Amino acid sequence: MTDDSTLSVPDSVVPTWVVRTLGLARREVLRVTRRAKNTVLPPIVTNGLYITVFGVILGARIGETQGVPYLQFVLPGLIALGAISQSFQNAAFSLFHSRWEGYVEVMIAAPISSAEGIVSYLLGSAVRGLLVGGAVFALGYLFTGTPVRHPALLIAFVVVVVLLFGGLGLVGGMWADDFDQLTVFNQFLIRPLVFFGGVFYPLADLPGIARTVSYLNPIVYIVNGIRFSLTGISSVPPLTSLAVLVGATVLVVGLDVWLFERGFGLTE
């Protein structure tokens, strides 16, 4: 007979911090997948309406923009809108709910680091953002057969985007005093940035000062990066866009860890 002890996996094979992080992340991911009709389906329907109205109906009137059909031009922005809003919302509402119900104190008291807690929230937010962004792309593909010219860049941009806005969502979740403030943050900051981020128009169409100010908007780099990945056209060099977004993500995640370590808003 074989001794059961010979079949066990030594603790050193998988570091304990990985086990802890994945355990917390599993809770966040299950929260998304088990409630998909509430967390994933509504934004897919909303973005489907955007595709129908802006891409199909208006696109038939507008024709081509920068050498591609209008729906192919706006689709990258709609993918970004879905991924951004859902990754932000998931992180913000999940953390705030844990504060509201008081079980965030269990995490604070548990033998886990702030970085492990932050990563677990980010993984759950990334799953939700990627699911919605992928579904929006699939809907757009059904209408236009949009090619993916640079798949590696597309994956890099979308992953960075969901991590960046998941990190911003955690800041919102720690800062907000009630659920209404989270809604205000999403509706009056993130969505305006998206709509003024070159989703529906090329930056070249803007007058000089407006075009210059647009480069302060991080959504510009997201939309143009995804647009280049799909169509090969962009108002900003793709590697510049990726570098800006990676830098912003590192800063935001670092801020998350710093605030989490100091308990900012967690026990209030």
pLDDT tier for residue 221 given thresholds of 50, 70 and 90? very high
Whether 40 is covered by a domain: the verdict is yes
Q: Give me the chain's average pLDDT, please.
A: 83
Whether 38 is covered by a domain: the verdict is yes
Whether 145 is covered by a domain: the verdict is yes
Task: Count Cβ atoms within 10 A of the Cβ of residue 140 and give its class: 0-12 exposed, 13-18 middle, 19 or more buried.
Answer: buried
Quote the number of domains for the chain: 1
Whether 11 is covered by a domain: the verdict is no
- The answer to whether the CB of 91 falls within 8 A of the CB of 121 is yes
Whether 9 is covered by a domain: the verdict is no
Q: Which residue has the tokens 């960075």?
A: 160
Whether 16 is covered by a domain: the verdict is no
Whether 229 is covered by a domain: the verdict is yes
Q: What is the DSSP string of 178-203?
A: SHHHHHHHIIIIIHHHHHTTTSSS-G
Q: Tens of pLDDT along 45-71?
A: 888 888 888 767 777 777 778 888 888
Instruction: Give the global pTM.
Output: 0.85
DSSP state letter for 215:
T
Whether 8 is covered by a domain: the verdict is no
- Residue 29 CA to residue 128 CA, distance in Å, equals 8
Q: What domain range is 168 assigned to?
A: 21-261
